[in-house]
Structure 1
Amino acid sequence: MNPQKIALLTDSCADIPAELCRQYDIFVLPLRLLFSDGEYLDGQTITADEVYERLPHEIPTTSLPAGQSVEQIFDQMIAAGYEKVLAVHLSAGLSGTYNLVRLMGEDCEALEVRAFDSVSGSLGIGLTLIQAARMIEQGCTWEQLLQAVPQMLAGTKVFFCVDTLEYLQKGGRIGKITAVAGSLLQIKPIITFAPTGELINVAKGRGRKAALDKLMALFRESCPKDGDFLAAVVDGGIPEEGDALRDQLMPTLPDGTEVIRGQIDCTLGTYVGPHLLGAGFQVIPDWRVL
């Protein structure tokens, strides 16, 4: 436990590598998936690869974490000696997880809980928790952290290349994404998060290579021209292609830029389907001046 007694909480859609969760003692709430044969906990009782195997036959219903799970995690934090909780969750435009934790945190007298809507997903959330953990290690106070988090969220951008809009349409998570006609022409959409937290279509490419070239161009155009930032690459069941995307991006980044490598969780995998590739970044704020 850190001297500031600040616990870090997120959900399974943050896609933080397990070794980093252990290193920084990040608590993770699993979202739930309901198939015809029962309920599964994202990342705990079912894996994303297992979800992809099932998707052609059945698209599960997804649900926010159970209230009991939130209570149990709060109890674990209290038992460990934490007094404050910084919680950052999947975009409220896609899930009610943020509001659940916010409301339950207000009722938890033993902890001071501050919950934030990431207005993002995957490592767009995870980067915030990783940076927050490092700031706490460096002596960042609770007050400084609460001022830094909105800056981190505002300085975050993620882009995803998906094979098809089929799963987003069927799952009702499509937001303002326009239908992309021409599946026979292999049109691949590039999506990101709108300021409202919904997913929107920002570009498209004819064929996988053209779409990935567009994704990398959007990433480079959006990256800050000065200052430090963390980068991230994520894949949906295609780790070799994810590694290749990371290797292609690395030469375009400033020397010393860290790239966090992750895999899409079960819940987001259900929304977008298999074979996703994504890249994003988050600006590192100077919390010492806050």
Structure 2
Amino acid sequence: MIHFFYDADSEMSLAVAKEFGIDDPKYFIKMPYTISGELKYCDLITPELSTSFFKKVRAGEMPTTSALNAEEYKEIFEPAFREGGDILYVSFSSNMSATFNHMNIAVKELKEKYPTVTFTRIDSKAISMGTGLAVIAAAKMLKAGKSVDEIVKYMDELVPRINITIVADDLNYLKRGGRLTAIKALFGTMLQIKPIIKLTTAGTLIPTTNVTGRNKALMTMVNEIADRASEADDLPIIIMQGDCIAEANRVRDKLQSLLPKADIRLMDVGPVIGTHCGPGTIGICFIDGQRPEPVKD
């Protein structure tokens, strides 16, 4: 038996989770965030959850995220360890959070208690539906009866090809997350400069090209992805939107016109990622020949 876990930083929607048969709540790891002074745990994303979160943010609330502790990880994983078999966890990038230090402590203790159980974590080196694409791929392989070893081998090839490109609207959120300096955020805001953010081979996000004007930045992103993304891949292209549905629809329509055979889906940014990128964020998650290592301008 294979117990398949993934986490809320994948920003998997409830609808897509149901589509691929991965909506069992006991295998979904909710990640903590705080808003309006209340600690919450991010669930599978629904339009209602995303809308409610961004309504509070636009009203001036400043959310924060935090890490699960070792005891919380033990509570999540121990039922699967107790049942026995193989445990497979497709996670978001370990270079984006210290939470995996806590997870390692929990898993070490559980392995000592249940020595016959195998635990395998696949680091997607991604976030949001970049991780979600890896989760979908693993779910499809599990449904086809593939073993953990076969899935790991496939992921070794897939993960470097998972790409994310993001245009954020409010640079102050990137400043808070340490991805832009205060000076760059200030002058970028004054001059309407929108950095295009990309996922690196190390599994981190950094700003790359600077484009003046939001619409120009979005179209620059779309045109680049149209040149790089594969229409033939069996995984979809995912457009993530943070409370900017009209713009996201225009981005999707333009990208679909350039890639008419591609399966392009529109999904909502959730609270965990929305905390760091803010409202107005549009990101595109897709499969490319390889993941680039962007260099700062």
User: TM-score normalised by the shorter chain: which range applies?
Assistant: 0.7 to 0.9
- Find the counterpart in structure 1 of residue 93 from structure 2: 91
> Match for residue 107 of structure 2?
105
Kindly tell me: are residues 225 and 264 of structure 1, through their superposed partners in 2, closer, same or farther at Cα, counting changes over 3 Å?
closer
Deviation at 1:158, TM superposition (A): 0.8
Partner of 1:134, secondary structure, is: helix
Corresponding residue of 1:279: 284
Among candidates 184, 190, 194, match of residue 184 of structure 1: 190
How many corresponding residue pairs?
277
Determine the structure 2 residue equivalent to 1:115: 121
**Which string of whole-angstrom CA distances, capped at 9 and with x for unpartnered residues, describes residues 163-183 of structure 1?**
1220121233x1799925342
Q: Relative to structure 1, is the Cα distance of residues 264 and 72 closer, same or farther in structure 2, using a 3 angstrom cutoff?
A: same
Q: Is the 2:241–2:268 contact (alpha carbons within 8 Å) kept by the matching residues of 1?
A: yes
Q: What is the CA–CA distance in structure 1 between the aligned matches of 2:37 and 2:280, rounded to whole Å?
A: 25
Please list, as runs of the form range in 1=range in 2, the aligned pairs for 1:72-91 lying within 5 A after superposition: 72-77=75-80, 83-91=85-93
Secondary structure of residue in 1 paired with 2:255? helix
Distance of aligned partners of 1:197 and 1:54 in 2 relative to their CA distance in 1, 3 Å threshold = same
Task: Give the % identical residues.
Answer: 22
| Backbone CA RMSD of aligned residues | 2.9
Q: Deviation at 1:36?
A: 5.7
Cα distance change on mapping 1:212 and 1:147 into 2, 3 Å: same
Residue of structure 1 in register with 2:33 after alignment: 33
Pair 1:141–1:237, CA change in 2 (3 A): same
Query: CA 1:10 to 1:154, structure 2 compared with 1: closer, same or farther past 3 Å?
Result: same
Distance 1:176 1:24, change over 3 A: farther
- Unaligned 5+ runs, structure 1: 285-290
User: d(CA) in 1 for partners of 2:182 and 2:144?
Assistant: 41
Aligned partners of 2:267 and 2:181: how far apart in 1?
26
Which of 16, 20, 41 matches 2:16?
Answer: 20
Residues 86, 115 of structure 1: 8 Å contact kept = yes
TM-score when scaled to structure 2?
A: 0.81
Give, in whole Å, the separation in 1 of the partners of 2:182 and 2:136: 30
Query: 1:72 deviation in Å?
Result: 3.0
Aligned to 1:24, what secondary structure does the other structure show?
A: coil
Quote the offset at 1:240 in angstroms.
3.3
| Correspondence list, 1:1-290, <5 A | 5-22=1-18, 23-25=20-22, 27-35=27-35, 37-43=37-43, 47-55=49-57, 57-77=60-80, 83-109=85-111, 110=114, 111-172=117-178, 174=179, 179=184, 181-224=187-230, 228-253=234-259, 255=261, 257-282=262-287
Q: Distance in 1 between matches of 2:66 and 2:96?
A: 10
Cα separation, partners in 2 of 1:28 and 1:177, compared to 1, 3 Å: farther
